[in-house]
């Protein structure tokens, strides 16, 4: 490859959507700067806040915690803690917990591990069995996501965090947009755009500093920084419709570099026009008291399948 566009060193990466060739140092800096700019563009974190990062041990979250620790050291102003959720997926979660624990101790970040079993009384594998038995036609990822979100929110609340950070990438965001469109979930679109001002009592605002970084660049960042991560994908991931959305978007991106950014921007514009008219009523679950869209929250609804008669 030719030389870096910025500094003339040999390049390691060609950024298709911008046409830039970048050397190792300029590439790594570009990712860290992008994260810093995204945080400030959407006012994701304010000075002095405590931020809890959802650390799964996979590529995106291990890269993000390294970047957040680095930015925090350079621009002090937030306190970082990590939360790992152990869903109880046999043969999968143990390795990622080990990696997450090691990364946090290397970075000097406090690390909490919470399990579905402790919180809900059952592992994901057990919940999956019960739902199958009752003929609930939901994909594993969809209810695992519900249970994980609640676990993260309640743990973040317990440690008095001001924000909950997740490692969703540009690809995750764009896949979510596409899936919402396929399902006609137009009212969910405004949630795509970060809005830390919209405060819902009981819900820790969630922010996504990697939302403008493409997945392959997070992978390259982790690789160049030699960040250890879990490589085995979750055994249930292949069941999800998201996987098909990913393939579709990747085909577009390959033929038309920049499609993902175009989609993100288009939907941000769209969502700002629906936002004012459609902030859904927030209610509180009659079982557990957490914020919910109906009388009972989705977590309690799922767990109702596991209650003894
Ligand atoms: Zn360079
Ligand atoms: Zn509930």
The tens digit of pLDDT for each residue in 148-203 reads 999 999 999 999 999 999 999 999 999 999 988 888 776 666 666 666 666 778 88
Alpha carbon separation from 271 to 31, 73, 194, 256, 265 (Å, rounded) = 26, 35, 11, 24, 10
- Give the pLDDT confidence of 108-133 residue by residue, as tens digits: 999 999 999 999 999 998 998 888 88
- Give the pLDDT confidence of 128-146 residue by residue, as tens digits: 888 888 888 777 877 888 8
- Give the pLDDT confidence of 15-28 residue by residue, as tens digits: 999 999 999 999 99
DSSP state letter for 112: E
157: three-class secondary structure by DSSP: helix
Which residues lie near ion ligand 2 (Cβ < 5 Å)?
285, 287-288, 297, 300
Query: Mind listing the domains of the chain with CATH numbers?
Result: 32-280 (3.40.50.620)
pLDDT at 6 over 70: yes
- Between CA 107 and CA 127 the distance in angstroms is 34
pTM of the model: 0.89
- Between CA 167 and CA 38 the distance in angstroms is 13
For ligand 1, the distance from its centroid to the CA atom of residue 66, given in whole angstroms, is 21
- What length is written for the chain? 309
Please report the pLDDT score of residue 111 as a whole number.
97
pLDDT band per the 50, 70, 90 thresholds, residue 229: confident
149: three-class secondary structure by DSSP: helix
Q: Which ligand is nearest to the CA of 150?
A: 2
For ligand 2, the distance from its centroid to the CA atom of residue 140, given in whole angstroms, is 19
Please report the pLDDT score of residue 221 as a whole number.
97
161: three-class secondary structure by DSSP: coil
Please report the pLDDT score of residue 280 as a whole number.
56
For ligand 2, the distance from its centroid to the CA atom of residue 296, given in whole angstroms, is 5
Please report the pLDDT score of residue 140 as a whole number.
80
pLDDT band per the 50, 70, 90 thresholds, residue 278: very low
- Between CA 220 and CA 207 the distance in angstroms is 23
The burial of 203, by beta-carbon neighbours within 10 Å (0-12 exposed, 13-18 middle, 19 or more buried), is given as middle
With pLDDT > 90 as the criterion, what percentage of the chain qualifies?
57
For ligand 1, the distance from its centroid to the CA atom of residue 212, given in whole angstroms, is 21
Please report the pLDDT score of residue 309 as a whole number.
53
pLDDT band per the 50, 70, 90 thresholds, residue 264: very high
Residue 184 CB partners (closer than 8 Å, separation 6+): none
Helix (H) / strand (E) element for 99: namely helix 93-107
Q: Which ligand is nearest to the CA of 11?
A: 1
Q: How many CB atoms lie within 10 A of CB 95?
A: 14
pLDDT band per the 50, 70, 90 thresholds, residue 277: very low
For ligand 2, the distance from its centroid to the CA atom of residue 280, given in whole angstroms, is 18
- Between CA 244 and CA 80 the distance in angstroms is 34
Adjacent-strand bridge partners of 22: 13
Question: Taking Cα atoms as reference points, which of 19, 14, 16 lies closest to residue 257?
Answer: 16
- Between CA 119 and CA 264 the distance in angstroms is 35
pLDDT band per the 50, 70, 90 thresholds, residue 275: low
Region 76-95: mean pLDDT is 89
Residue corresponding to tokens 């809005």: 195
State how beta strands 283-284 and 291-292 pair: antiparallel
- Between CA 261 and CA 170 the distance in angstroms is 8
pLDDT at 267 over 80: yes
pLDDT, averaged across the chain: 88
pLDDT at 268 over 70: yes
Which residues lie near ion ligand 1 (Cβ < 5 Å)?
4, 6-7, 9, 23, 26
Q: Which ligand is nearest to the CA of 1?
A: 1
For ligand 1, the distance from its centroid to the CA atom of residue 19, given in whole angstroms, is 14
Q: Which ligand is nearest to the CA of 13?
A: 1
For ligand 1, the distance from its centroid to the CA atom of residue 121, given in whole angstroms, is 52
Sign of CA dihedral 56, 61, 66, 72: negative
């Amino acid at each position: 490859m030719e030389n870096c566009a910025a500094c003339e060193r040999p390049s390691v990466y060609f950024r298709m959507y911008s046409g830039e060739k970048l050397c190792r140092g300029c590439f790594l800096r570009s990712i860290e700067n992008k994260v810093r700019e995204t945080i400030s563009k959407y006012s994701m974190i304010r000075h002095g806040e405590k931020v809890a990062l959802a650390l799964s041990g996979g590529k995106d979250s291990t890269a993000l915690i390294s970047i957040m620790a680095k930015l925090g050291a350079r621009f002090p102003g937030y306190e970082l803690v990590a939360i790992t959720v152990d869903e109880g997926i046999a043969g999968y979660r143990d390795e990622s917990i080990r990696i997450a624990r090691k990364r946090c101790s290397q970075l000097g970040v406090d690390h909490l591990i919470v399990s579905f079993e402790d919180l809900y009384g059952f592992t994901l594998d057990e919940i999956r069995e019960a739902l199958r038995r009752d003929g609930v036609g939901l994909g594993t990822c969809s209810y695992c996501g519900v249970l994980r979100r609640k676990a993260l929110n309640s743990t973040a609340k317990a440690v008095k965090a001001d924000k909950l950070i997740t490692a969703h990438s540009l690809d995750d965001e764009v896949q979510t947009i596409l899936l919402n469109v396929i399902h006609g979930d137009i009212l969910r679109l405004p949630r795509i755009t970060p809005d830390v001002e919209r405060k819902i009592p009981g819900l820790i605002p969630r922010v996504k500093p990697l939302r403008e970084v493409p997945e392959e660049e997070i992978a390259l960042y982790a690789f160049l920084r030699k960040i250890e991560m879990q490589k085995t994908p979750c055994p249930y991931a292949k069941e999800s419709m998201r996987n098909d959305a990913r393939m579709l978007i990747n085909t577009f991106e390959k033929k038309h570099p920049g499609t993902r950014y175009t989609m993100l921007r288009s939907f941000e514009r769209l969502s700002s026009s629906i936002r004012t008219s459609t902030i859904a009523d927030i209610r509180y679950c009659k079982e557990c008291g957490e914020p919910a869209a109906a009388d009972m929250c989705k977590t309690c609804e799922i767990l109702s399948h596991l209650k003894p008669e």
